Structure 1
Amino acid sequence: MSGATVPQPAVERMVPFSGHPLVVGVVPDQDPLVVRTALALAGPLGVGVYFAFADTSRFIVDERPDGTVHHAAIDPDSVDDSWEQTDASLRVALSTLVRGEGVEWDFRYLAGRPDRALTHLARAVDASLIVVGTRASGTGHHMRELLEGSVAAHLSHHQHRPVLTVPLAVVDWKEIRAPWEH
C-alpha cells in the first residue's frame, strides 16, 4: 500500500462557478430535464457546457489534455461502428435542446466507466460542477443500480467537484419497501 494520500475536498480546492464550465452526463433517449437544468444554471452563470456520454462498451486507448479520448471496442474481434451513430444522434438531440438558449456548448463521446470519464473531463476543462440525472425507473434499472451503484454517488465520493443530481423519477415515500419485500 502506498503512503500517498488522496486529495480531499477543501475550500482551497473549490473551483469558482463563475468562468468555469459545467460538465453534464447524458445518455441516449434521456429525459430533456437534465439538459434543461444544466442550461438553466449555465445561462445565469455565463458559462459554457460540456455534454458527455460515456460508452461502457468501449475502453480508453488515450486520454487527451482537452478531455477528448481515443477509444476502442472492448471486443477486438467486433467491427463496431455503432458508436458513431450514437455520437451523431446525441449531437442532433443536444442541438435541438440547446437551440436558442445562448449557451456555448460542446459534446464529448467518452468511454469506460461514466464516473471516471466525467471526472477526467471535468479535470481537463476545469469544470466547476458536474450535472447528472438519476437512473430511469423500473426493476431492471433498480437491480443494475444495486449491483453497480449510482453514477452520482460514485462521483460524489471519488472527486472534489460538486455534483448536481437531477431527479427523473420520484417514488412516493409510502411505496418504499425494504429490499427483501420486493
Structure 2
Amino acid sequence: MDTGAVPQPALERMVDPAGHPLVVGVVPGQDPLVARTAAAWGRAVGAPYLHLAYVDPARYVVQERPDGSVAHMSLDPDGLDDAWRATREELRGQAAEQLSGEGVVWRLHYLAGRPDRALTHLARAVDASAIVVGSRSGRLRELLEGSIALHLAYHQHRPVLTVPLSVVDWKDPRAPWQG
C-alpha cells in the first residue's frame, strides 16, 4: 500500500453539516449574494459560525496556525507591508453590512497564497462541513487557470457550494470566452 497516497473522499471522511461551520470565500466588492447564500445554508444546518475568508495572492504564508489563521508577508519586499490591514477592514465592513439581520455569527480571516489551498487549510482547521464560493461564468482568466471552485473540488474532500453571480443564456450560441 502506498503510504503517500492522497486521502480520497469517503463516507468516513464526510463532515456532517449539522452543527459544523461553513468556510466562505470573500473578496472586496463582492456581490452580497455569496454571503447571504452562505448565511441561509448556515442557518439551515445550524452552523455555529460562518468563517469568511479572503485570500491575498500578493502575500505568502510564513506560518499556518492550528486555528486556521496564518502569519503572512508581502511578496514585494519593497511594498508597504501594512496595506493589507485596510483591505481587512474593508472586508469587515462589507461583511457587517451584507450579513446584518441574517442571524448568523461570522468571523473574518485574512489569508495568503493560493486561494484553494488557503480555503482548504481553514476548512480543515475549523472542521467545516462545506466551502462556499462565488463564481462568474465567462471570465477568460477562470477558463484558462481554472476556477477556485474547480480547484477546491479536485483537491479536498468537502463539498463546494458555488454561488452563480452571472450566467449565460441557454440560447446564446457563443462560448463564454467569446464574451
**Among candidates 168, 175, 181, match of residue 172 of structure 2:** 175
Alignment-mate amino acid for residue 10 of structure 2: A
Query: Alpha-carbon deviations, 1:47-75, whole Å to 9, x = none?
Result: 12100000011100111000001111001
**TM-superposed deviation, 1:181:** 6.1
Alignment of 1:41 with 2:41, yes or no, is yes
| Structure 1 residues 3 and 18: alpha-carbon distance in aligned structure 2, compared to 1, 3 A threshold | closer
Structure-2 separation of matches of 1:65 and 1:176:
48
Q: Give the alignment's TM-score, normalised by structure 2.
A: 0.92
| Other-structure match for 2:120 | 119
Structure-2 separation of matches of 1:17 and 1:178:
36
Alignment of 1:8 with 2:5, yes or no, is no
Q: Secondary structure at 1:121's aligned position in 2? A: helix
Q: Structure 2: which 5+ residue stretches go unaligned?
A: none
Structure-2 separation of matches of 1:180 and 1:23:
29
| Structure 1 residues 66 and 171: alpha-carbon distance in aligned structure 2, compared to 1, 3 A threshold | same
Structure-1 separation of matches of 2:141 and 2:149:
14
| Structure 1 residues 113 and 75: alpha-carbon distance in aligned structure 2, compared to 1, 3 A threshold | same
Q: Secondary structure at 2:165's aligned position in 1? A: coil
CA RMSD of aligned residues (A): 1.8
Alignment of 1:132 with 2:133, yes or no, is yes
**TM-superposed deviation, 1:103:** 1.1
Q: Structure 1: which 5+ residue stretches go unaligned?
A: none
**TM-superposed deviation, 1:143:** 2.1
Q: Secondary structure at 2:55's aligned position in 1? A: strand
| Counterparts of residues 29-178 of structure 1 (less than 5 Å) | 29-47=29-47, 48-135=49-136, 142-178=139-175
Q: Give the alignment's TM-score, normalised by structure 1.
A: 0.91
**TM-superposed deviation, 1:113:** 0.8
Q: Secondary structure at 1:53's aligned position in 2? A: strand
| Structure 1 residues 3 and 126: alpha-carbon distance in aligned structure 2, compared to 1, 3 A threshold | closer
